[in-house]
Every structure is written in C-alpha cells, then in structure tokens.
Amino acid sequence: MAVTMNVKSINDLAKDVLKIEADSILKLIDRIGDNFDKAIELLYSCKGRVIITGMGKSGLIGKKIAATLSSTGTPSYFLHPAESTHGDSGIITRDDVIIAISNSGETQELLNLLPLIKRFGVPMIGMTGNMNSTLAKASDVVLDIAVEREACPLNKAPTASTTATLAMGDALAVCLLEKRGFSEEDFLIFHPSGALGKGFLYHVKDLMLSDPEKLPIVHENDTFTSVIETISKFKLGMAMIVDNSGKLAGVLTDGDIRRTLIKYPDTVSLLIKDVMTVNPKRISGDEYAASALHLMEKYSITALAVVDSSDKPIGVIHIHDILKAGVA
C-alpha cells in the first residue's frame, strides 16, 4: 500500500535531495589537482577520439559527457561496454583515449574491456567513487567522483553519484574548450540550428535597416522641432545625430523628447545638440546580431545606431527585427 506524505514532508525531501546533490558537487572542488591536469593533457593531446564507456546510469551520464565534448571541439563517442564484447570494440584505435565510468569501479561489463584496452596501449581515464577498485588500479589517470551518500533515502539509486559524475564531465569539457581556444564561430559550426546557432548565424548588417532614404539622420544644429518631425516620419522611435564631419554625435529618442518637453517650456529655439543623448550606444555591422540584442537588453533600448569604421551611421537595427529572425 502506498504511503501518503503531506506537502511539507514532500518539500523537505525534495530540499534534502537538492542539498545532498549540491554538496556532492562542491566536494569535488578539493579533488581538482594533478590528476585532473593529467586527464586534460591526455584528452587535449588525443589524436583520435575520446571513447566514453559505462553501464546503466553511468552509461547515460557518459552519453551526455560525450555529447558535450563533441559539441565543444573534442570528438567523442559513447561505447556501450556490454556491446563492446560483441564486436563494437572494433571502433577503438591506438590513437584514442578511453574514459571509463563506474561508481563502484567493479562493473564487470566494463572490466571485460580492460584486456583489449591494455593490448592496444590506449590511455584510460577512470572516473570512479572507489579509488581502490579494479578500474582505478587499471587506469592511467583516476578522477575521484565519490559521494558520501546517494540522495535516495535508501542510499541505493544512483543520484548524487551521477550528478557528481556529470559535473566532473562538464569541468573536463569546459577546460578543454578553453585550452583549445574554442570560439563562437566554432560553436556555430556544431550548432547551426536553433536559437544558439541563429545568434551567431546573423550579423548586424544582415538584419539592419540600411536604405539611406529610410534612415532618420539629422544634423546636430537642426532644431528640436524639426527632428521630432523626422522621428515621426521614419517611425523608428529615434533619430541619429551627426556632426559636421558626418560622425555620430548623439541620438534623440522618444524618451529624450518627453524629458525635453518637461524641462523646457519653450522649445522653438532649441537645437538638437542641446538636448540629444551624447555618446550613444552603437554597433558595427560586422558584429553578431546576438551582441546587438545583448546591448539592447542591458541598456533597455529598442534600436541601435549602426556605424562604419569611421563612426558614421550606416543603418539602424531594431529589436523587433532581431527577434523576428529567431535570435534569442
């Protein structure tokens, strides 16, 4: 018969699970040292692929680590240890590096791979919670992923241990990413679809309004009232102000207009340079659309002036056009 638990005890149990799993990750920090450095060097110098293997829940975590490594510049493949003894081990070459995952370090299906690994002389990184296990002793480098207890009340189901393993895998992937100098452009190659890819697929020049006849550009010595007419005409909520050399000197937005009308009872004689926002945010057409979106969100603006290498305005990019393109 099912045991009924009240809301408070369910919430307390959930909090306990999160605390135990968080603690399991925090305790890994003190274990980052020489062995971790050696693991990074092995993976970085690998001329083939990183082959990750593990059974059960460890295998599922291994698949995620392999996917993360592959998407960040380290070619990786998951090998099921049970299938490996029925022909799949043929994918292993002498240029590869093995990451073998087993919390106990005594998973038989995993240990069955050891003779082949040793015969080929393939370097192996063991990730285990038992530093005295067969796996630990057979590994060239061992990463300690031990936890004090599982988050499961029975201390049986892999919970905190798999969380710790996943976190250690992420630490390896991120450090390799940094060591390889993996760039945004590299990331795009492996993520051409979705919001991540679109953020690096589009440049500002691809989405900006660039038709000179549709750009609200005025001179700093124009009158305030004439610029209001320009803003109303082009319907972008702003005008770009240039100086005598044609460089961007400022912008006037709908917000600037409201503040000016409140501050000055008589605006007839006002020049735009007296009330414009000087040194406005601007962006190059060669920047990513994602960078433009970041600026807009950071400074709560809806449109950015786009300038060339001489700081002369050549376009406007609006947040609506960025979002319409799927950049998020």
pLDDT band at 222, cuts 50/70/90? very high
When pLDDT is averaged across residues 10-17 and rounded to a whole number, the result is 91
Contact 305, 240 (CB under 8 A): yes
pLDDT in tens, 46-73: 999 999 999 999 999 999 999 999 888 8
pLDDT band at 202, cuts 50/70/90? confident
Question: Looking at residue 5, what is its pLDDT?
Answer: 54
Question: Looking at residue 198, what is its pLDDT?
Answer: 60
Question: Looking at residue 88, what is its pLDDT?
Answer: 63
pLDDT in tens, 224-262: 999 999 999 998 999 999 999 999 999 999 999 999 999
Question: Looking at residue 98, what is its pLDDT?
Answer: 96
Higher pLDDT among residues 169 and 6, named by residue: 169
Sign of CA dihedral 36, 39, 45, 49: negative
Question: Looking at residue 303, what is its pLDDT?
Answer: 93
CB burial readout 48-65, b (16+ within 10 A) else e: ebbbbbbbebbbebbbbb
Question: Looking at residue 191, what is its pLDDT?
Answer: 56
Name the residue type at position 95.
D
* The two three-digit tokens of residue 300, written as one number: 């709560």
pTM of the model: 0.59
Q: How far apart are CA 284 and CA 261, in angstroms?
A: 32
pLDDT in tens, 174-199: 999 999 887 666 665 565 555 555 66
Question: Looking at residue 290, what is its pLDDT?
Answer: 85
Q: How far apart are CA 231 and CA 316, in angstroms?
A: 13
pLDDT band at 28, cuts 50/70/90? very high
Question: Looking at residue 193, what is its pLDDT?
Answer: 57
**Domains of the chain, CATH where assigned:** 7-182 (3.40.50.10490), 204-324 (3.10.580.10)
Whole-number average pLDDT of the chain: 89
- Which DSSP symbol is given to 122? -
pLDDT band at 269, cuts 50/70/90? confident
Contact 104, 57 (CB under 8 A): no
pLDDT in tens, 83-136: 866 656 778 889 999 999 999 999 999 998 898 888 889 999 999 999 999 999
Q: How far apart are CA 14 and CA 2, in angstroms?
A: 18
When pLDDT is averaged across residues 158-173 and rounded to a whole number, the result is 95
pLDDT band at 201, cuts 50/70/90? confident
**Radius of gyration from C-alpha coordinates of the chain:** 29
- Locate all alpha helices (DSSP H) within the chain, ordered by sequence: 7-26, 34-44, 56-71, 81-84, 108-111, 114-120, 134-138, 160-180, 184-190, 194-201, 204-207, 224-234, 254-263, 272-275, 289-299, 319-324
Judged against a pLDDT cut of 80, whether residue 82 lies above it is answered with: yes
Q: How far apart are CA 231 and CA 225, in angstroms?
A: 10
Higher pLDDT among residues 157 and 172, named by residue: 172
pLDDT band at 3, cuts 50/70/90? low
